[in-house]
Amino acid sequence: MDILIVDDEKSIRLTTSIALEAEGHYVETAEDGTLALKRIKEENFDLVFLDLRLGDEDGLEILQKIVAMKPQQLVTIFTAHASISTAVKATQLGAFDYLEKPFTPDQLRAILIKAQKARKTQAEVVQLKETVQELKSEVRHASPPLRFVSEDPKTRVEFDVLFRAAATSASILILGESGTGKSVIAREIHDRSHLRDKPFVTVSCPSLSKELLESVLFGHMKGSFTGAIKDTWGKVHAADGGTLFLDEIGELPMEIQPKLLRLLQEREYERLGENKVRQADVRVIAATNRDLKASIRSGEFREDLYYRLNVISVTVPPLRERPADLAKFAKDYLDFFSGQLGRKIDGFSDSGRSALMRHPWPGNLRELRNAIERSTILARGNHVEAEDLPQPTPLAASNSADAEPGGLGIGGEHSLDEIEQAHLMKVLGWAPSLHDAAAVLGIDKATLYRKRKRFGIH
């Protein structure tokens, strides 16, 4: 290691240097704070030994200057027995450790081993941060660009409110149909906030049973329910100091709602099966495609929780109400996917463009993205044609007189079940995933699962 010894006593500088050099370290010495600060600024020392009594100089002040200049700098304080309390204060100010004078070679060696470990951990953290940055940039390049500017005045107002609120700690509720980009917006709010370097943790409310969801949120103690084989921390703990994103909050079971309310109001929670109140400071962003006011009326959602979540609330308009944005998103996606495929596709033909505008896009951006990806594969020439884009759904088609032969016509002699089953089968037939199918149908995945089971659709 490269080590700097800062002490005004020549004998200490000399003996410590000899001991350290004998262990193979590179050592420099400084007899006062000014020289020490100059060398620390110029060089990267792995460890600094700093005497707190440096003649007229205040060692604690020098320590603070070092920490301010290089927060990662490991500084071990030399201290006399009588000044242990000062040494403790020094560690509170950012010193790594302290060594009481006079010290033995073994005590010095113990400090060096500890410092080496700390340096290794620091290097690992730096490397992990770099890896995360690289991965983030790879992910960004592996998906179409995100667009947060809008040509639509209503959407512009909503985005403006959202991104102005990003810098505060206010809870934010994002409403909007499935696929309008609520999760993407939640992440963007976090990235534009003062918490951007802190954790961003997502909890998808409907994906789990009530008990598991509670455990995922708050953690549990071993034996608190069947299958709880060890103590765990929940996502609230993981998000402490950062943002907790509660996706599909409208599905949050009634039993868990008071616990979330307590977290929002008191910043307190308890792990399942534990009788100890814990603190967590999280900024909550919630999203739902449900009408929460209707859920309050039907007794499925607590009004007090709604008002806590709703400090700032915006509704992201559906894509069909933003035709100018629709065209821009479609072009972005087309450029991205054609680039990925190495195909030269210049844009949409007239028929392609009007098909794009005619389609109601019930699955919003998610559906549009999938449709454009598919169209770049299907396009025969250098333009996307109407035939490459989603065709009218069976229900829309059957609205007209020329329903498919043997198909179901709206208003014909069919039960609602028959119509529902036929529609489900058609959508499941073309949607790329169950998630997309649920989005297009405007239901959550659990409901889709129940319906498939009911109609025997595999």
Q: Which is nearer to ligand ATP, 49 or 301 (CB)?
A: 301
Owner of token pair 């205040």:
58
Alpha-carbon 360 to chain mean position? 31
Least CB distance to ligand ATP at residue 71 (A): 35
Least CB distance to ligand ATP at residue 411 (A): 31
Q: Which is nearer to ligand ATP, 183 or 315 (CB)?
A: 183
Least CB distance to ligand ATP at residue 244 (A): 16
Q: Which is nearer to ligand ATP, 115 or 440 (CB)?
A: 440
284 forms beta bridges with 244
Other beta carbons less than 10 A from residue 152's beta carbon: 17
Least CB distance to ligand ATP at residue 363 (A): 8
Q: Which residue is nearest to ligand ATP (CB)?
A: 181
Least CB distance to ligand ATP at residue 194 (A): 22
Q: Which is nearer to ligand ATP, 49 or 329 (CB)?
A: 329
Q: Which is nearer to ligand ATP, 292 or 439 (CB)?
A: 439
Q: Which is nearer to ligand ATP, 214 or 247 (CB)?
A: 247
Q: Which is nearer to ligand ATP, 74 or 356 (CB)?
A: 356
Least CB distance to ligand ATP at residue 176 (A): 6
Q: Which long-range contacts (CB under 8 A, 24 or more apart) does 52-55 make?
A: 52/77, 52/78, 52/79, 52/83, 52/86, 52/87, 52/90, 53/8, 53/80, 53/83, 54/6, 54/7, 54/8, 55/8
Q: Which is nearer to ligand ATP, 28 or 332 (CB)?
A: 332
Pairing of strands 53-54, 57-58: antiparallel
Question: CA angle, 191 as apex, 278 and 361 as ends, to 5°?
Answer: 110
Ramachandran angles phi, psi of 416, nearest 5° = -60, -35
The sign one gets for the Cα dihedral 364, 369, 372, 377 is negative
* SS3 of 362-392: CCHHHHHHHHHHHHHHHCCCCEECHHHCCCC
Question: 367 exposed, middle or buried (CB, 10 Å; 0-12, 13-18, 19+)?
Answer: buried
Least CB distance to ligand ATP at residue 343 (A): 20
Least CB distance to ligand ATP at residue 325 (A): 9
Q: Which residues bind ligand ATP (CB under 6 A)?
A: 144, 146-148, 176, 178-184, 247, 287, 289, 365-366, 369, 439
Question: Where do runs of H (alpha helix) occur along 70-197?
Answer: 84-92, 105-142, 153-165, 182-191
Which residue type occupies 29? T
Least CB distance to ligand ATP at residue 147 (A): 4
Least CB distance to ligand ATP at residue 120 (A): 38
Q: Which is nearer to ligand ATP, 144 or 242 (CB)?
A: 144
- Rounded CA-CA distance 273/202 in Å is 23
Question: Where do runs of H (alpha helix) occur along 219-269?
Answer: 235-238, 257-266
Longest dimension (CA), the chain: 104
* Interaxial angle between packed helices 445-455 and 416-430, expressed in degrees from 0 to 180 and rounded to the nearest 10: 120
Least CB distance to ligand ATP at residue 309 (A): 16
Alpha-carbon 369 to chain mean position? 22
Owner of token pair 């809870």:
171
Q: Which is nearer to ligand ATP, 51 or 436 (CB)?
A: 436
Q: Which is nearer to ligand ATP, 182 or 308 (CB)?
A: 182
Q: Which is nearer to ligand ATP, 176 or 234 (CB)?
A: 176
Least CB distance to ligand ATP at residue 20 (A): 55
Other beta carbons less than 10 A from residue 278's beta carbon: 18
DSSP string of 287-332?
EESS-HHHHHHTTSS-HHHHHHHTSEEEEEPPGGG-HHHHHHHHHH
